[in-house]
Amino acid sequence: MIQFFGKFHPLFVHLPIGIFLFGLFLKAYGWYKKSEIDSGIFKLVLLVSTFSSVLSVITGLILFSGGDYEKDTVAFHRNAGIAFTVFSILLYFFNDKKWSLYLWILGLILLVLTGHLGGNLTHGEEYLSFETHKTEKKPIVNVQEALVYEDIIKPIFEEKCVSCHSAKKQKGKLRLDEKDFLLKGGKNGECLNLKNPGESLLLERLNLPDGEEEHMPPKAKPQLTGDEKRIIDWWIKSGSDFEKKAKELKQTESDKKTLLTFQSGNERGQSASIISEAEVSEPSKNAIEILKKSGVIALPVSEKTNYLSLTIFENNFSEKEIAAFKEIKNNILILDARGLKNKAFFQILPLFNNIRKLNLSGADLGDSDVQKLSALKELQSLNLSKTGVTEKGVAYLKANPKLKNIYLFDSKFDKKQFKTLKSQFPQTVLDTGGYNISDSDSLKFGL
């Protein structure tokens, strides 16, 4: 029951701030005008400020006793608050002194320090900072090869949850920053129900209506996106595994689409700008169904077009699946086939005559394969990073009039030939990933 009164701390803590600042303003005004202000006004201001400060300290100590905060984290804020309360009492007795303005200024410094530390506890360490340093997320090149917890779930928790559930603050005695604490749970029990995943408390709290008191994250905090909620729901209901890759967990078509949103370079939101004005017929539903069963994700690039964005994860395709690709060849606008090793598929790539963006990063292809891509006259962006392509293979692409970008990071071309190669592509950016070229090469690389 006593913990209930601790909830009033955020209310009381603002009273001494406003009252003290009002007193300081009066003190500075009297000093500036060289006129005395009735000492009774200051006594009343300081009396109310001290009283509200005492209430703030008491409710703060009650809140701290609930165990939601680490002792070392709260210590400075608690001690600064107590010091300010004591300082307010001293001011009550010494306000009539000529030098008391300096005491008011010292009190202001102490008040700002206390407020700053309190703001850090409630909203995170960067709440009152001029600069914010977001945790840089690890790029996910192939989401199916990503570790579900480490690469997808944990970054979501770090961004949206750990401000309330970390080593410094444990609302409900719950930490979500490490595996062991996730499994341990909080004061309301386990947050992950490994026996009945669908009944996990974490899922229940995430799916509560925004207005509910126990909804996570709290209303004032950044909320989870729809995809973040869906991916956490999928992970928990799949058994909350901390070691497996995405491809090792059972997925519906909806799950695959959601996973794809966490993949680096996902271009669904940007694809509308490259859609051809020439419309194509509706893609074969039978062909798409065949490809989906083989692990291909086929998504429309827009609700108002029949063009598709394809993402390929498998390396083995049967003749039936190759035939399905041919059947929808005119519908393919974007193709992500990074890491692909299937030679039969490379043979049919030149048939995708409407393709605008093609990602073959890490694919098993060489110069002869790239020569066949010169038939793709609508191609605007081509990623050949981490392939066996040399400057000879890249030169074949000069016949592609609409190419805007060719990505060549960690490919096999001779860097000393870059200047010559670049001269053959005056309208195309050859992105090398920022190689460091020695002065002896006298080349300005990557432009």
pLDDT digits (tens, 9 = 90+) for 349-385: 999 999 999 999 999 989 998 999 999 999 999 999 9
Tens-place pLDDT, residues 22-44 = 888 887 877 777 777 777 888 88
Instruction: Say yes or no to pLDDT of 312 above 80.
Output: yes
Between the alpha carbon of residue 128 and those of residues 100, 108, 112, 125, 291, the distances in Å are: 29, 17, 11, 7, 51
Tens digit of each residue's pLDDT (9 = 90 or more) over 378-415: 999 999 999 999 999 999 998 888 898 998 888 887 77
Q: What is the pLDDT of residue 273?
A: 53
More confident residue, 435 or 181: 181
Q: Specify which residues 334 forms β-bridges with.
A: 309, 357
Question: Which own/partner contact pairs does 313-317 have at CB distance under 8 Å and 24+ positions apart?
Answer: 313/142, 313/144, 313/247, 315/339, 315/340, 315/341, 315/342, 316/342, 317/342, 317/344, 317/345
Residue 267: pLDDT over 50 = no
What average pLDDT score do residues 121-129 get? 55
Contact between 132 and 44 under an 8 Å Cβ cutoff? The reply is: no
H or E segment and range at residue 41:
helix 39-65
| 331-356: average pLDDT | 91
**Mean pLDDT along residues 81-102:** 82
Q: SS3 for 241? A: coil
Phi then psi for residue 69, to 5 deg, are -130, 150
**Which one-letter DSSP state was computed for residue 170?**
B
Helix (H) or strand (E) holding 406: strand 405-407
* Residue 268 reports pLDDT greater than 60: no
pLDDT in tens, 128-187: 454 444 555 667 767 888 899 999 999 999 888 887 787 777 777 888 888 898 888 888
Contact 46, 24 (CB under 8 A): no
Residue 440's pLDDT is: 38
H or E element: which one contains 382?
strand 381-383
Q: What angle do CA 329, 358, 407 make, to 5 degrees?
A: 165
pLDDT over threshold 60, residue 62: yes
Instruction: Give alpha helix (H) positions in 66-187.
Output: 71-94, 100-123, 154-160, 179-184
Q: What is the mean pLDDT of the chain?
A: 80
SS3 state at 60:
helix
Work out the angle at residue 205's Cα, subtended by the Cα atoms of residues 225 and 143, and round it to the nearest 5 degrees. 40
Residue of 82, 105, 131, 115 lying closest to 10 (CA atoms): 115
pLDDT over 70 percentage in the chain: 84
At 278, is the pLDDT very low, low, confident or very high (cuts 50, 70, 90)? confident
Task: Note the helical H segments in 265-373.
Answer: 285-293, 319-327, 343-348, 367-372
The pLDDT value recorded for residue 150 is 93
Give the tokens for residue 333.
């606008």
pLDDT value of residue 331: 93
Q: How confident is the model at residue 281 (pLDDT cuts 50, 70, 90)?
A: very high
- DSSP H or E stretch at residue 2: helix 2-6
pLDDT bracket for residue 323 (50, 70, 90): very high
Q: In this structure, what token pair is assigned to residue 382?
A: 């081509």
The average pLDDT across 97-107 equals 80
Asked if 357 contacts 274 with a C-beta cutoff of 8 angstroms, the reply is yes
Higher pLDDT, 14 or 280: 280
Looking at the DSSP bridge assignments, the partners of residue 432 are: none
Cα distance between residue 378 and residue 30, in whole Å: 76
Name the percent of the chain lying above pLDDT 90: 26
- In 3-state terms, what secondary structure has residue 293? helix
Mean pLDDT of 193-197: 90
Predicted confidence at residue 46, as pLDDT, reads 82
pLDDT at 280 over 50: yes
On the CB side of 1, CA atoms within 13 Å amount to 0
List C-alpha distances in Å: 228 to 119, 134, 183, 259, 388: 27, 18, 20, 9, 37
Q: What pLDDT score does 266 carry?
A: 52
Contact 108, 24 (CB under 8 A): yes
Kindly report which listed range (60-69, 236-245, 319-328) carries the lowest average pLDDT score. Answer: 60-69
